[in-house]
Amino acid sequence: MPRPFRILSHLILLVACLMLTLAAPAGASSVRVLTVQGAISPASADYLLRGIDKAIDDQAHLIVIEMDTPGGLDSSMRDIIKAILASKVPVATYVSPKGARAASAGTYILYASHIAAMAPATNLGAATPVELAPTDGDKPTASDKPTQSDKPEAAKPADTPTGDPKMRKAVHDAAAYIRGLAELRGRNAEWAERAVREAVSLSASEALELKVIDIVATDLDDLLKQLNGRVIKMDGQTVTLNTAQIEIERVEPDWRSRLLAVIGDPSIAYILMLLGIYGLIYEFSNPGMLFPGVVGGICLLLGLFALQVMPISYAGLALMLLGIVLMISEAFVPSFGALGLGGVAAFIIGSVMLIDTDLPGYGIPWMLIVPVAAATALFSFFVAGMAIQARARPVMTGAEEMIGAPGEILADMEHEGWARVHGEQWRVRSKAPLARGSRVRVRARHDLILDVEPDKEIDHV
């Protein structure tokens, strides 16, 4: 081939390679790593769902969820599992680092993933659902006292869970759910059901022996090394992983996920709701201030938004509101402390009942409830009381201060004339004739005209 044609062919080949490189989706040869630490909440669910969707859009080769969780909300857990099951990119859930756990909701997510992996010195299990509040809404999945299995053999699951009919229904539902996930991924379904019915746990080595997980890896690099060449079934097709020398992209939570995580904390939501109530009370007591009303409205809406995704007790919320009303009423209706003390008691009881403390990370600590109750009581007894005393004082300035002010008639008058009030000349009206120099007192004001009457106290003296 002549040299010019050879050069031209090389240029065409180079341009074609560049075009293929530019056309290749970003992340097509990368691993997306998402990290979840702490309770499974609406914030963590939002972070994982958006991370999985972005990885699918970028056609990433693999999604790795590094997880360390004590459990979380049932609704958030199911949203995450639905996203994993619908993912077109393989998802590997990795319980890491050493000492981490995948308890309760984490066990379900581990079972739902295409690949289940754990680091040494980690554990999973204790997936018995626990109802946090007597409502029909979200129920966190957590265990009261996780137990460790004595032997790695998988025993037959218990036929009937203990508890009331509602609890038995929740346990049966959770057992069927995790069994379905286990059968879908070809994992140990018998032990999964024991984790729900008996709240048993496993270490990483025992989980691998019982085929609960697929891999035990010391770190992320070791995990990717072991995954290289592994064949995964997805939607009736097989996918071979090629994770050797692959690019790793870590996706950190953005501002939205961080905001949801902050306001999704029960203690923060509790404080926001109280700030909102206090702000609105202050605004209604002093109309026109605007700032307390605006800030209070925003805080109250943020607090209610956070509480509506949590399993709250409406009886506890009602007791809190009743306690605030009683403590404020003490300032208006003196009852020798009866209303105030009753309000403090109702407020504390309602705060304790608002969210149960069985699930780690979803309780309101006593160290927060007691100071807030004390501050609310002080606000009601002293601040509100001082405001009432201030209102009882006579008006010192403004138009209202003119009512009752003394004055002197400047000229004889039948019904209308002029008078000096507070060193100023005012147009005045009187029902009776008044002589010059008569002492009068203002009884009403109509714009720039004052209604006056003789000052009987001065006349009598």
CATH assignment of the domain containing 218: 3.90.226.10
pLDDT tens string for the chain (461 positions)? 555 555 556 556 555 544 544 444 444 578 999 999 988 888 889 899 999 999 999 999 999 999 999 988 888 899 999 999 999 999 999 999 999 999 999 999 999 999 999 999 999 998 888 653 333 444 444 433 344 444 444 444 444 455 567 778 888 999 999 999 999 999 999 999 999 999 899 999 999 999 999 999 999 999 999 999 999 988 778 899 999 889 999 998 888 778 877 887 788 888 888 888 888 877 776 777 778 888 888 988 888 877 776 767 778 888 888 887 887 776 667 666 677 778 888 888 888 887 754 555 566 777 888 888 888 777 766 655 665 565 555 555 555 667 888 889 898 888 899 999 888 889 999 888 888 888 999 888 887 888 898 887 654 44
Rounded to whole angstroms, the Cα distance separating 6 from 25 reads 31
Nearest by Cα to 58 from 22, 25, 23 = 25
DSSP-assigned letter for residue 132 = -
Same domain, residue pair 286 and 384: yes
For residue 107 the two structure tokens come to: 């066990």
What pLDDT shows up at residue 149? 42
Would you say 80 and 109 are in contact if contact means Cβ atoms under 8 Å apart? yes
CATH assignment of the domain containing 444: 2.40.50.140
List of E strands, 244-299: 247-251
For residue 219 the two structure tokens come to: 């770190």
What pLDDT shows up at residue 381? 65
Rounded to whole angstroms, the Cα distance separating 409 from 454 reads 10
For residue 46 the two structure tokens come to: 């939002």
3-state secondary structure of 285: helix
Same domain, residue pair 269 and 371: yes
Same domain, residue pair 242 and 117: yes
Same domain, residue pair 143 and 65: yes
**Final residue of a structural domain among 229, 254, 279:** 254
Q: Can you state the percent helix, strand and coil of the chain, rounding each to 5?
A: 50, 20, 35
**Final residue of a structural domain among 223, 254, 285:** 254
Domain count, the chain: 3
Question: Looking at 104, 203, 351, 380, which residue is catalytic?
Answer: 104
Same domain, residue pair 47 and 187: yes
Same domain, residue pair 106 and 191: yes
Measured between its terminal Cα atoms, the distance across the chain in Å is: 133
- Give residue for tokens 């403590």: 327
Same domain, residue pair 185 and 269: no
Nearest by Cα to 443 from 423, 429, 457 = 429
Same domain, residue pair 245 and 266: no
Residues 6+ apart with CB under 8 A from 149: 194, 200, 201, 202, 206
Same domain, residue pair 272 and 176: no
- Give me the numbers of helices (H) and strands (E) for the chain, helices first please: 16, 19
Rounded to whole angstroms, the Cα distance separating 407 from 455 reads 9
- Residue 281 belongs to what domain range? 259-392
3-state secondary structure of 355: coil
Rounded to whole angstroms, the Cα distance separating 110 from 113 reads 5
| Catalytic residue check, 104 | yes
Residues 6+ apart with CB under 8 A from 302: 263, 269, 272, 276
**Final residue of a structural domain among 392, 419, 443:** 392
| Catalytic residue check, 88 | no
Same domain, residue pair 312 and 213: no
Same domain, residue pair 242 and 353: no
Nearest by Cα to 385 from 318, 345, 335, 322 = 335
Same domain, residue pair 415 and 318: no
